[in-house]
Amino acid sequence: MYLRYHPSRLKLIFSFFLFFFLLLIIRIFYIQFFRFSFLKELAKKQHNVYIELEARRGNIYDCHLRPQVINLPRQSLYAIPHQIKNKPELINKLSEILNLDPDYLKSRIYRDKSFIWIARKIEPSKVEEILNLNEEGLGFIKESIRVYPNRYLASHILGFTDIDNVGLEGVELIYNDYLKGRPGFGLFLRDARGKLLDLWEKVVLPQDGFDLVLTIDEVIQYIAERELDKVFKVFKAKSATIIVMDPFTGEILAMANRPTFDLNNIGGYPDWVRKNRAITDIFEPGSSFKIVTAAAALETGVIKEDDRFFCENGSYRVANHILHDHQPHGWLTFREVIEQSSNIGTTKVAQILGPQVIYHYIKAFGFGSTLGIDLPGEAKGMIKVPALWSKTSIGAVPIGHEVGVTALQLVSAISVIANGGLLMKPFVLKEVKDKYGVKIKENSPYIIRRVIKEETALRLKEILAGVVENGTGKLARIEGIKVAGKTGTAQKIGPDGRYVHDRFVASFVGFAPLDHPRIAICIVVDEPRPYYFGGVVCAPVFKRVAREVLNYLGVYPQPLKEDLDKLASLKDETD
């Protein structure tokens, strides 16, 4: 067989392969030197996944280290969209399990992403159902959920967080920087199918947040909330507030509002329910504000306890306004003016003192400015400088009208009298600790200023004890324990700017025991019905709370004289 030789054809084939080989060399050179960074990053995206490692958010405890806020583990579901084979079928299954809108799931699963969240912090039972689907392209990452064991208890103090455990209200917000810690991250490897492997390229471990120890006492908080709940429901009130405070340190032992909310289900409540009325809501206090006028009168030395005032039999003109008492009085001593809560007697005292003196002591007691409590949203209240007083203001401001105060300011003011004349800064954080119990920060009592002399405070104590023993606060009496306090009843202002006759704010502020006060309490009830006097609505709440809290603190009633006499007679008979 004869074979012909075709050198030109061989040269053509060789040239073609040589050209093709040169193209490959150029392409490889281009990829190696010009596309290297891009392809390296692409490979990393395919075989590495960046996952943020959640830091443990700090726990929150009461003053006896009883947990109020803790963390529980939860699984969060993610998807790798391009690995999901039958997306419509998976969307229907997940929609049924997670109770999510199919359109929402579709918008997530059809995105051109290598990692996408589907649902965060899922219930364990639902995790099991999803695992049973055995679907490619789905995975779980361990996170934590914020849990409040006592649900409603101290809800307005504790506050809450968002889905990422970032504080939004209360202590959770104000001390978020201490609680949150610092997250870590990991570059984890995955196989060709995108499944995470137990291998990693780089890991930075998270730093856990610090724990908080609060001044509140779980037991005192429970007592206060239980009694507040009763008065709120019995008197069909619009809202109600209670604060229990250590008058010597400023520590908040309990603080509560009604209506309230479940911290484990915050989405089920409107914003107005979740606000902390104890520090945000401003109201006219009425007669409970007379403690300021009484303090000014005694401190200046202008008035003595036995000075007498004619109370005009219940009707007294101040400029173009007729001032009334809740019941007519003739001549009363200054002590009796406060005990019987006479508006006319108090106004006559204020007229002697003058607007400047009254205003000075209002400011000194902390009204019209924030007290600096470590909770968000504290209001400073509202007071007018004397230059803006009308001709009738001298008959309104000293008895608790034409002023706006908060419950926190009232309990701080009564604490001035209880502790001997000092205005203390209120606070709810006792200390900050790390997970090993090492103290990071500690709050100590802080004196804002001296308001009145200790002698004046002692004289006022006796007068306020008379309010409970002989005056408008009789329903606050505790057998065997001497207490002091002041009632308040104030008409509310309507939409037209005038006082209305069927809407009131009832209040009571007091402390106990008289000689060595352990607690100061403020109760405010907004629009109680059908009764609205502070001595009827709020004084009994003070009695029940104070009696039980003092018993818990180890302060027990002293035997009454008749009981002692009875015991002595029994002893004589036995002898």
CATH superfamily of 218-552: DD-peptidase/beta-lactamase superfamily (3.40.710.10)
In this predicted structure, the answer to whether residue 174 has a pLDDT above a threshold of 70 is yes
Residue 572 identity (one-letter amino acid)? D
> Which of 102, 103, 99, 105 is closest to 122 using CA atoms?
99
Say which range, 61-70, 238-247, 563-572, has the weakest mean pLDDT: 563-572
Residue 86's pLDDT is 83
Residue 100 CA, chain-centre distance (Å), reads 32
pTM, to two decimals: 0.85
How many Å apart are CA 273 and CA 239, to the nearest integer? Answer: 9
> Which of 199, 204, 197, 189 is closest to 49 using CA atoms?
189
Residue 462 CA, chain-centre distance (Å), reads 34
Residue 457 CA, chain-centre distance (Å), reads 31
Say which range, 185-199, 205-219, 368-382, 472-486, has the weakest mean pLDDT: 185-199
Catalytic choice (76, 155, 287, 288): 287
Residues 116-157: tens digit of each pLDDT: 888 888 888 888 888 888 888 888 888 889 999 999 999 999
How many Å apart are CA 405 and CA 282, to the nearest integer? Answer: 5
Say which range, 188-192, 425-429, 491-495, 515-519, has the weakest mean pLDDT: 188-192
First to last CA, the chain: 152
Pinpoint the residues of the chain covered by CATH 3.40.710.10: 218-552
Count H helices and E strands in the chain, helices first: 20, 21
Residue 332's pLDDT is 95
Pairing, β 211-214 against β 67-79: unpaired
Report the pLDDT averaged over residues 224-238. Answer: 97
Pinpoint the residues of the chain covered by CATH 3.90.1310.10: 50-214
How many Å apart are CA 495 and CA 504, to the nearest integer? Answer: 14
Residues 179-230: tens digit of each pLDDT: 998 887 666 655 555 555 454 556 667 889 999 999 999 999 999 999 999 9
H helix runs in 111-204, sequence order? 124-133, 155-158, 170-174, 176-179
**Cα within 13 Å of Cα(244), Cβ side:** 30
How many Å apart are CA 464 and CA 25, to the nearest integer? Answer: 99
For the chain, give the percent of residues with pLDDT over 90: 65
How many Å apart are CA 485 and CA 299, to the nearest integer? Answer: 19
Q: Is 342 assigned a catalytic role?
A: no
Architecture of domain 50-214: Alpha-Beta Complex (3.90)
How many Å apart are CA 159 and CA 137, to the nearest integer? Answer: 37
> Which of 157, 150, 182 is closest to 172 using CA atoms?
157
Residue 2's pLDDT is 53
In this predicted structure, the answer to whether residue 358 has a pLDDT above a threshold of 50 is yes
Residue 199's pLDDT is 44
